[in-house]
Amino acid sequence: MQYPTADSVKNRIGTYGLKSNNAESQVVQKIQCRLLTEENAMKTNATLASESNGTTNSVSKGSLWAGRIISALSALFMLMDAVMKLVKPAFVVEATVQLGYPESVIFGLGLVLLVCVILYVVPRTSILGALLLTGYLGGAVATNLRVGLPLFSHILFPIYIAVLLWGGLFLREPRLRALFPLRQA
């Protein structure tokens, strides 16, 4: 659909013999403003559509594969943790109880973690999955801190995993790179 330009609107007003007064100039200004807004919206939608189609993919093959490998390693670690919570072997139950949680919450934690990991590995929902996993790992940091475990080996370990999750996602996801550019073009 073609929208009239601001010049064509001015020409039409002049063609019909309308005298230019303050009210008419306000109408012309409003039309110009609306046309510019619609043109910008169409350009923005075209840009978003081309990015979603992958025509402006700015991720090199090297960083794409590095991101996939880092993401896969961190996702496999989190997946192993989720499966262990769902299966509930004796050492998982013992460790969870030592952290101050009742045995009844282990299955629920495993289920939540599994859903978060699935969201992370699906490309369309990977950013949401990373956000949810960051929240989950923040709870692990708080739990380890509350119990008084050693800093670098236990308390900060979930942060190390979160850095791997986000680092791998940043390397393979152009939407995240567009949101947080490390260097200016």
- Identify the pLDDT of residue 124: 93
Non-local CB neighbours of 129 within 8 Å, separated by 6+ positions:
116, 117, 118, 119, 120, 121, 122
Measured in degrees and rounded to the nearest 5, phi and psi for residue 27 equal -65, -45
Q: What is the pLDDT of residues 128-159, one digit of tens each?
A: 999 999 999 999 999 989 988 888 888 899 99
**Domain edges within the chain:** 6-52, 61-179
Distance of alpha carbon 7 from alpha carbon 167, whole angstroms: 50
Between 34 and 53, residue with greater pLDDT: 34
Non-local CB neighbours of 172 within 8 Å, separated by 6+ positions:
59, 63, 64, 67, 68, 71
Q: What is the pLDDT of residues 123-136, one digit of tens each?
A: 999 999 999 999 99
Q: What is the pLDDT of residues 72-124, one digit of tens each?
A: 999 999 999 999 999 999 999 999 999 999 999 999 999 999 999 999 999 99
Greatest pairwise CA separation for the chain in angstroms: 90
Confirm whether pTM is higher than 0.85. Answer: no
Token digits of residue 183: 């260097």
Which string of DSSP letters, residue by residue, matches 80-91?
HHHHHHHH--HH
Distance of alpha carbon 93 from alpha carbon 130, whole angstroms: 26
Contact 126, 120 (CB under 8 A): yes
